[in-house]
């Protein structure tokens, strides 16, 4: 199943935040306007607070168009997408600059996390999904065959050509594309002169505040084990937010095998049930949430402490919560 669908449920609005204000309700910043479109296999939402209804509607239209553009380029399912063609053919001529930007970010994140983040784990996901459809886990031989195709350093990307240098390689940008789409959507909103917005592409990104009094956009983080319960509330002020969890797309009911893979072992990481990251941009929050699931709590918190503007909350499989010192709980 698509990772995007499950991330959308991992962060939701709570009372006192976006969910407490209905479209058209008068605020001191202006009215709240919302718009939505289908992208990444679910509903993308843009909410803005602005006094000029026409400008607000144009900003929302532009933002949704940007998100749809990223989805069209980077979907692993659509035969017309550049990522689909790259996986099918092993190379792609004249890649779109947006695709190159995301691939460059992926390479940098792989280096930063010493390979914990790796866009080439797609063969593992395909192998486990096919086995799960039959009600079993893949045999060791098939898992090793998929693992032999994994290696972020074997992706070459330049303005004329993107090439996968290992046989059987395939990439997924599901750990970056939604965050990147949020960044482009927010830039489109700002270009229309709107300074108070919340973007939801499955990864969240905010600007300004919900009201002139400074009441921030507020999100709820789902408990990874108790459906309908919040593990925390988060004040989102000018940053991106992303959650990854073992419950989002699990191949086994015990959450041991799920959609996130350790590119070294070929198995799902076993320590954490949920990771929530706040970062300066959507693409940073998106990618780090996946990487931190693989790295485990101690290494993840150590790295987060070194990254400007990054806060982190981890919940392990025993329910132990660890928040960075400046994590902005509501």
267 is known to lie in a ligand binding site? no
Instruction: Take residue 85 and report the two structure tokens written for it.
Output: 């063609």
3-state secondary structure of 12: strand
124, 133, 82, 94: which is closest to 251 by C-alpha?
133
Handedness of CA 282, 323, 7, 215 (dihedral sign): negative
Residue 290 among known ligand-binding residues: yes
Could you tell me the end-to-end alpha-carbon distance of the chain, in angstroms, rounded to an integer? 32
Structure tokens at 167: 């046989």
DSSP string, 18-59: GGGS-TT-EETTEEEEEEEEEETTEEEEEEEEES-HHHHHHH
C-alpha span between 300 and 33 (Å, rounded):
37
Q: Is 246 annotated as a binding residue?
A: no
Query: If we measure between CA atoms, which residue out of 171, 167, 8 comes closest to residue 75?
Result: 171
Query: Are 329 and 314 a contacting pair, CB within 8 Å?
Result: no
Count Cβ atoms within 10 A of the Cβ of residue 270 and give its class: 0-12 exposed, 13-18 middle, 19 or more buried. Answer: middle
Cα of 173 vs its chain's centroid, Å: 9
Is the torsion defined by CA of 265, 270, 274, 280 positive or negative? negative
Q: Is 94 exposed, middle or buried (0-12, 13-18, 19+ CB in 10 A)?
A: exposed
Distances in whole angstroms, Cα of residue 40 to Cα of each of 7, 101, 117, 129, 199: 11, 19, 20, 19, 14
Binding residues for Mg(2+) are: 175, 286, 290
Binding residues are: 175, 286, 290
């Amino acid at each position: 199943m698509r990772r995007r669908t499950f991330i959308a449920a991992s962060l939701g609005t709570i009372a006192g935040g976006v969910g407490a204000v209905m479209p058209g309700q008068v605020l001191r910043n202006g009215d709240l306007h919302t718009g939505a479109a289908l992208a990444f296999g679910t509903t993308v939402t843009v909410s803005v607070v602005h006094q000029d209804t026409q400008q607000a509607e144009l900003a929302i239209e532009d933002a949704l168009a940007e998100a749809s553009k990223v989805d069209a380029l980077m979907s692993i399912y659509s035969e017309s997408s550049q990522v689909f063609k790259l996986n099918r053919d092993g190379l792609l001529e004249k890649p779109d600059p947006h695709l190159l930007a995301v691939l460059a970010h992926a390479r940098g994140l792989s280096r930063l996390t010493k390979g914990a983040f790796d866009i080439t784990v797609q063969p593992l996901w395909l192998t486990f999904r096919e086995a799960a459809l039959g009600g079993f886990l893949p045999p060791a031989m098939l898992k090793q065959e998929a693992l032999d195709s994994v290696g972020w350093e074997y992706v070459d990307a330049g303005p004329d050509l993107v090439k996968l240098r290992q046989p059987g390689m395939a990439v997924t940008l599901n750990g970056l594309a939604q965050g990147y789409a949020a960044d482009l959507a927010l830039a489109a909103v700002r270009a229309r002169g709107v300074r108070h917005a919340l973007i939801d592409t499955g990864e969240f990104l905010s600007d300004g505040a919900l009201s002139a009094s400074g009441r921030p956009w507020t999100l709820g983080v789902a408990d990874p084990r108790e459906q309908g319960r919040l593990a925390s509330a988060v004040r989102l002020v000018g940053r991106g937010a992303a959650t990854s969890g073992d419950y989002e797309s699990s191949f086994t009911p015990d959450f041991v095998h799920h959609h996130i893979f350790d590119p070294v072992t070929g198995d799902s990481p076993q320590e954490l049930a949920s990771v929530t990251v706040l970062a300066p941009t959507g693409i940073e929050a998106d990618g780090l949430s996946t990487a931190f699931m693989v790295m485990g709590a101690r290494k993840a918190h150590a790295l987060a402490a070194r990254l400007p503007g990054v806060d982190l909350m981890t919940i392990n499989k025993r329910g132990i919560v660890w928040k960075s010192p400046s994590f902005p709980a509501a």
